[in-house]
Chain A
Amino acid sequence: GDSVTQMEGPVTLSEEAFLTINCTYTATGYPSLFWYVQYPGEGLQLLLKATKADDKGSNKGFEATYRKETTSFHLEKGSVQVSDSAVYFCALSDRGYIPTFGRGTSLIVHP
């Protein structure tokens, strides 16, 4: 079946550091890929998405590129802020309406 693997956290960075959160997937079809963000006490929010190979999703300074050859969708940001501290989830949607989520990666950004 489909699966999503994310790097374990927490990832701890200083403000203005470069961020990478790795995400790899397995799927039988041609999935759409998503990154969600969850702030404390809230539900998940869509951060960005990509629907086909080589697409780049971007939002709020975050980017991720759909790499079919490496089955990856790594999340990057050039300069993180304290306000980016949250839990980040990678997810895919292949066939049907049931997505597959990774376990989430906690990001902590210190001033």
Chain B
Amino acid sequence: DAGITQSPRHKVTETGTPVTLRCHQTENHRYMYWYRQDPGHGLRLIHYSYGVKDTDKGEVSDGYSVSRSKTEDFLLTLESATSSQTSVYFCAISTGTDDNQPQHFGDGTRLSIL
């Protein structure tokens, strides 16, 4: 168990409101990721982090920002939520010391934007 906790697990909010999702890991792994999962699209990378204050964009980063002020926490923020951001969001970490290691995933946050 890689010790990944996502919060909240479910959230319903309204268009235009800010939303922050939290990913917490217990094992000080360097690499952390945020994905969204939608029917017909599989998993799509939003942002990732390779260390404290070191982040980069993925393929669907528009409308999202991230922050990592501590090794164990990686936050995903929707500054002004839109209905197109209704999705299931997964946090993942990479546990290995080389670049071909598998990822470990949290259980997801189901976000609905009305």
Binding site for B on A (CB under 8 A): 31-32, 34, 36, 41-46, 49, 51, 89, 93-99, 101-104
A73 to B81, CA, bound (A): 39
Binding site for A on B (CB under 8 A): 4, 31, 40-43, 45, 48, 50, 58, 90, 92, 94, 99-108
Count of chain A to chain B residue pairs whose CB atoms are closer than 8 Å in the complex: 53
* Closest-CB distance, B95 to chain A (whole angstroms): 10
A41 to B88, CA, bound (A): 10
Chain A, residue nearest B42 (CB): A103
B40 touches A103 (CB 8 A): yes
Asked whether A89 and B43 contact (CB < 8 A) given A46-B102, A95-B99, A97-B99, the answer is yes
B90 touches A43 (CB 8 A): yes
Asked whether A43 and B42 contact (CB < 8 A) given A51-B100, A97-B94, the answer is no
B105 touches A93 (CB 8 A): no
- Greatest chain A CB density within 10 A among B4, B45, B92, B103 is at B103
Query: Which residues of the other chain, B, contact A93 by a CB distance below 8 angstroms?
Result: 99-102
**SS class of chain B's interface: helix, strand, loop or mixed?**
strand
Within 8 Å by CB of A43, from B31, B94, B102, B105, lies B105
- Greatest chain B CB density within 10 A among A31, A44, A104 is at A44
Query: Which residues of the other chain, A, contact B102 by a CB distance below 8 angstroms?
Result: 34, 36, 46, 49, 93
A93 to B100, CA, bound (A): 5
A43 to B5, CA, bound (A): 11
A43 touches B48 (CB 8 A): no
Query: Which residues of the other chain, B, contact A34 by a CB distance below 8 angstroms?
Result: 102
Within 8 Å by CB of A44, from B31, B100, B105, lies B105
Query: Which residues of the other chain, B, contact A49 by a CB distance below 8 angstroms?
Result: 102
Query: Which residues of the other chain, A, contact B90 by a CB distance below 8 angstroms?
Result: 43-44
A101 to B31, CA, bound (A): 17
A43 touches B99 (CB 8 A): no
Chain B, residue nearest A92 (CB): B100
Query: Which residues of the other chain, A, contact B104 by a CB distance below 8 angstroms?
Result: 46
